[in-house]
Amino acid sequence: MTGRQKQRLLRCAAGIALFAAGCAGLLFLFSKTGVFWRCPFRLLTSLNCPGCGNTRAAAALLHLQFAQSLTYNYAYPLEFLYLLHVLFQAAKRYVCEGRFSYLPQHPALDYTVLGLLLLWWVVRNLLHI
């Protein structure tokens, strides 16, 4: 690993740690006050989007309430793991190549996750989940 790559790795790690700390702080604040962001799609259409309930699910996970987290959005584990994958790929590209972008090396994974989320979107609104 070159000197520049080590510098980029440290910057990337610091940025991710700062972002994670900010998210955890907001989730903790939201969970203590009971005030959460409202989904603009749901406000306009009265339908759930694939991500409706993710903030409450993350707050429940922060309090180690795994079963409660799933009740807010059953697709949250998939969405969370996929976003971690995207973050890891972008960080890896930044450290190795010096540019921050996410260009999928395996687009089949992206299309599969997108398809599953679209299916979840339809199912959760048809079944009122």
- At 68 the three-state DSSP class reads helix
Nearest to 54 by CA among 117, 3, 8, 102: 117
pTM (predicted TM-score): 0.81
Domain region containing 83: 3-126
Tokens of 51: 């991500």
- The pLDDT value recorded for residue 107 is 87
pLDDT of residue 36: 76
C-alpha angle 24/74/61, rounded to 5°?
Answer: 25
In this prediction, residue 5 carries a pLDDT of: 93
- How many folded domains does the chain comprise? 1
Q: Tokens for 121?
A: 């979107």
Contacts of 56 (CB under 8 A, 6+ apart): 36, 72, 73
Instruction: Please give the pLDDT value at position 61.
Output: 86
Residue 56 has pLDDT above 90, yes or no: no
Q: Which pLDDT value is given to residue 99? A: 84
User: DSSP labels for 78-109?
Assistant: HHHHHHHHHHHHHHHHHHHHS------S-HHH
pLDDT value at residue 31: 78
CA angle centred on 18, ends 72 and 9, rounded to 5°: 115
Residues 64-111: tens digit of each pLDDT: 899 999 999 999 999 999 999 988 889 999 999 888 777 777 789 899
Model confidence at 38: pLDDT above 90? no
